[in-house]
Amino acid sequence: MNLCNLGVIKRILAEHGTDTKKGFGQNFLINPQIPFDIAEESYCYHIQNEKNDAPCVLEIGPGIGALTNELCQRYERVVCVEIDKTLIPILDTTLSEYSNVSIINEDFLKLPLQDFLKEHFGAAPVSVCANLPYYITTPIIMKLLEEARSEGRCAFTSITVMVQKEVAQRLCATEKDSEYGAITASVSYYGRVKKLFDVAPGNFHPAPSVTSSVIRIELYKENPHSVKDEKTLFSVIAGAFAQRRKTLLNSLSSYFSHISKDAIAEIITSLGFDINIRGERLSVDDFCRLADKFYEEKQK
């Protein structure tokens, strides 16, 4: 069954008395080359970096199974989490030929991720691969990075996902680019982000209003960034970007109202930064140094 054929998609949905739901960010792929390429990018990276284990993958939002079908042909074990209960009987049919897949009907954002990973994959290395629902792209990515963390790094091998092109540009930006923001700095603490390819709206049903991009977050096995306290790092990043048009000093002093502006100014200049610098000029290593100073200040 060609799960990317528009006629097939419409017929399957109608047979099950359902249709695509905007509220769940449902834009299904209708060009089979796209799920093929996404799965291939995810799997090739996984086997190059995890040579000795049975490859495992987590998919968020399988829809009717177009990408899942490609993942099942490559990975040993596929676990997918789909929020829409009307799609579960459809997936049971479209994926019936595979014995290596489990379909879980849950809201991914509400899953206790550490326990979930242990239950479904044990200690095996896992990659994430998905065509993400755009209304919750950032919360999903941050959950994957923050909740699957162990010993200062994210537990996944890589996260290969389709996102809106604009989000991809933000994720791939450097501190020299206007797209650089809190999410860029946060994600680059955990790994490198690589843009793979763009996908035009006409490749989906229904067509979204914007172009999409497939990116891969390649997680560090050894984190090259060191920081005394990760919680402080993420609050300093949030504070630095809380008021984008303000200087780093003004943005941080509104955010950390319990620390005096003079003390924050002293921290900024002690690191060799101009007092008028803006948050978007700081690299992740700069944020780590800044966070260490804030952490020391907290211990006083």
- Which residues inside 109-138 make contact with ligand SAM, applying CB under 6 A? 109, 131, 133, 136
Query: 29-68: which residues touch ligand SAM (CB under 6 A)?
Result: 29, 60-63, 66-67
The two beta strands, 158-164 and 126-131, are parallel
Q: Which is nearer to ligand SAM, 103 or 172 (CB)?
A: 103
| Touching ligand SAM, residues 144-173 (CB under 6 A) | none
Size of the site for ligand SAM (CB under 6 A): 22
Give whole-number Cα distances, 213 to 144, 168, 218, 287, in Å: 19, 6, 16, 27
Smallest distance, Å, CB 86 to ligand SAM?
9
Write down the least CB distance from residue 4 to ligand SAM, Å: 8
Give the per-residue contact string, 61-100, with ligand SAM (x = CB under 6 A; - = no): xxx--xx-------------xxxx----------------
Out of 26, 42, 137, 157, point to the residue binding ligand SAM (CB under 6 A). 26
Nearer to ligand SAM, 67 or 182 (CB): 67
Which range in 25-33, 144-152, 225-233, 262-270 contacts ligand SAM by CB under 6 A? 25-33
Closer to ligand SAM by Cβ: residue 131 or 169:
131
Report the residue from 43, 75, 108, 189 that binds ligand SAM according to the rule CB under 6 A.
Answer: 108
Q: Which of 40, 76, 107, 296 forms a contact with ligand SAM (CB under 6 A)?
A: 107
Concatenating the DSSP letter of every residue in the chain gives --TT-HHHHHHHHHHTT----GGGT--EE--THHHHHHHHHHHHHHHHH-TTS--EEEEE--TTSHHHHHHHTT-SEEEEE-S-GGGHHHHHHHTTT-SSEEEE-S-GGGS-HHHHHHHHHTTS-EEEEEE--GGGHHHHHHHHHHHTEETTEES-SEEEEEEEHHHHHHHH--TTSTT--HHHHHHHHHEEEEEEEEE-GGGEESPPSS-EEEEEEEE-SS-S---S-HHHHHHHHHHHHTTTTS-HHHHHHHH-TTS-HHHHHHHHHHTT--TT--GGG--HHHHHHHHHHHHHHHH-
Closest residue to ligand SAM: CB criterion: 61
Residue 237 C-beta: closest distance to ligand SAM, Å: 25
CB-side neighbour CA atoms (13 Å) of 222: 1
Interacting positions 224-243 with ligand SAM (CB under 6 A): none
**CB nearer ligand SAM, residue 49 or residue 211:** 211
Q: Least separation, in Å, of the C-beta of 145 and ligand SAM? A: 17
The residue to which tokens 């755009």 are assigned: 134
Q: Minimal distance in Å, beta carbon 71 to ligand SAM?
A: 10
Binding residues for ligand SAM, rule: CB under 6 A, are: 24-29, 60-63, 66-67, 81-84, 107-109, 131, 133, 136
